[in-house]
Chain A
Amino acid sequence: SYELTQPPSVSVSPGQTARITCSADALPKQYAYWYQQKPGQAPVLVIYKDSERPSGIPERFSGSSSGTTVTLTISGVQAEDEADYYCQSADSSGTYPVVFGGGTKLTVL
């Protein structure tokens, strides 16, 4: 199987910067996507193609890539950013064309 590895939880205080990582072998060759999911709600795309931000997503959300790790960065975290965050990508062979990470619970202290 192919896995995207995320930390189960990240905690930050309001106004600080949160960084959520996602690691996998094929990430240098495959784009990553990030979703935010609040309780009882459907996921929302917050970053696509590693670092692009959809319209309507606040500028404090950014994405970056370095080797086998992609990172979602939330600058100046607000209470409303508390949610689960999932990365999504694919392996390089096509055997696993759509894979989600296990999710990271972001807690705003």
Chain B
Amino acid sequence: EVQLVESGGGLVQPGRSLRLSCAASGFTFDDYAMHWVRQAPGKGLEWVSGISWNSGSIGYADSVKGRFTISRDNAKNSLYLQMNSLRAEDTALYYCAKAIGAVWFGEGFDYWGQGTLVTVSS
């Protein structure tokens, strides 16, 4: 059974940093691209970032480019999101999602975690 378990969310002040983690199990992690998708309270889904199976290709939404960094550790079956210079508008539930294939662009997501909540507020 595929499982994606996010952690690392919490309340953080504007301008500070936070690192999210996603522990994956139930599939061959290094065969697939992975993504972070967020959802602000009461709003729709917003793609944040994606990373290919071997970290060779990475993409970011314009809204987080230069502030967030995605990474993965295939030996630990883990995905990460380093979030710096956080803003109030980054407040959202952050989902880890498994891509259908090995590349991160133009693909859908066949499994999602339950999300970790990030609240940016003073």
Contacts and interface: CB of A to CB of B under 8 A. Distances in A.
B108 A45 contact: yes
A102 interface: yes
B106 A30 contact: yes
B59 interface: yes
A44 B61 CA distance: 22
A61 interface: no
B40 interface: no
Interface residues of B, number: 22
Contacts of B46: 100
**B interface, over-half SS:** strand
B14 interface: no
A28 interface: no
**A interface, over-half SS:** loop
A103 B45 contact: yes
Contact of A35 (B45, B50, B100, B106): B45
B108 A33 contact: yes
What bracket does the count of chain A residues touching chain B fall in?
20 to 34
A97 B106 CA distance: 6
Contacts of A42: 95, 112-115
Nearest to B112: A42
B81 to A, nearest CB: 15
A45 B110 contact: yes
B35 interface: yes
Interface of A: 30-31, 33, 35, 37, 42-45, 48-49, 54, 84, 86, 88, 90, 94, 97-103
